[in-house]
Amino acid sequence: MTQASYIYRKDYIPQTTACNRRPGLSMTASSITVHNTGNPSSTAANERGWLTNPNNTRTASYHIVIDAKEAIEVLPLNEVAWHAGDGSGAASGNRTSIGIEICERDVAAGEYAQALTNAVELIANMLLERNWGVDRLRRHYDWSGKNCPRLMNKDGKWTGWHQFVQQIDTRLKELKASTNQIKRNSTEAALIVNGKKLEHKGEVKNGVTYVPIRAIAEALGATVKWDSQTQTVKIEKND
Ligand SMILES: [Zn+2]
């Protein structure tokens, strides 16, 4: 698989966008829904442009569109978008799910493969941030029966979808492992001076222990002076 490579930017459509495409309803998302744009030639920027194009007469929107180069967040992720095709009931996909459109464009060889790789990276990171697993992923199909994301169902058995979910799961596990590694490399250390536990704590980072020197010195009965001119800590103790 190629490396993920994209920039993430926000370009929100205005509240006044036609056809109620930004209804302004607040949403606490509990899943992420994956789509294909259904347009074999458009880029993410083209798709974003279409949302505010005066010729567009559809009440349809989404949250993020991604292609081989960039991901554009077109609506805040805590606001409703119309992408699931299942109405506006409290439990509908429209009211509970973040919609991600993957561009189908493959004008340059491998462009769609790159968009897919980018989507794997984006979604794995979104799951990590929310402490969600791949059980939170939905197809547009799951909400309304529409054949979407259509390019993941070329064989009518959704093999592409299952592979996509598997790739996200693998990437999510890698991300979790490296996050845990960072946590393991930096741990808090309690400080006890002559049997007395200090309120301050030390920190062990990559095998080196860092401690608040003033708290420790003073607990040992010493005085600490900071000389800002020479950037020096002076510790003195008179017996
Ligand atoms: Zn869709």
Where are the domain boundaries for CATH 3.40.80.10 in the chain? 7-184
Q: Which residues contact 32 (CB under 8 A, 6 or more apart)?
A: 97, 98, 100, 123, 126, 127, 132, 136, 137, 138
pLDDT per residue as tens digits for the range 14-26: 999 999 999 999 9
Distance 71 CA to ligand 1 centre (A): 17
Separation of CA 198 and ligand 1 centre (Å): 57
Answer for the pair 70, 46: CB distance below 8 angstroms, yes or no.
Answer: no
Distance CA 159, CA 71 (A): 25
Which helix (H) or strand (E) covers residue 112, if one does? helix 111-130
- Kindly give the distance from the C-alpha atom of residue 67 to the centroid of ligand 1, in angstroms, as a whole number: 15
Residue 128 Cα, ligand 1 centroid: separation in angstroms?
23
Tokens of 54: 């005066």
The 10s digit of each residue's pLDDT in 175-191 is 999 888 777 777 888 88
Residue-wise pLDDT for 178-225, tens only, equals: 888 777 777 888 888 888 888 888 888 877 888 888 888 988 889 888
Q: How far is the CA of 223 from the centre of ligand 1 (A)?
A: 68
Distance (Å) from CA 143 to ligand 1 centroid: 10
Q: Report d(CA 186, CA 169) in Å as an integer.
A: 26
Fold category of 7-184 in CATH:
Lysozyme-like (3.40.80)
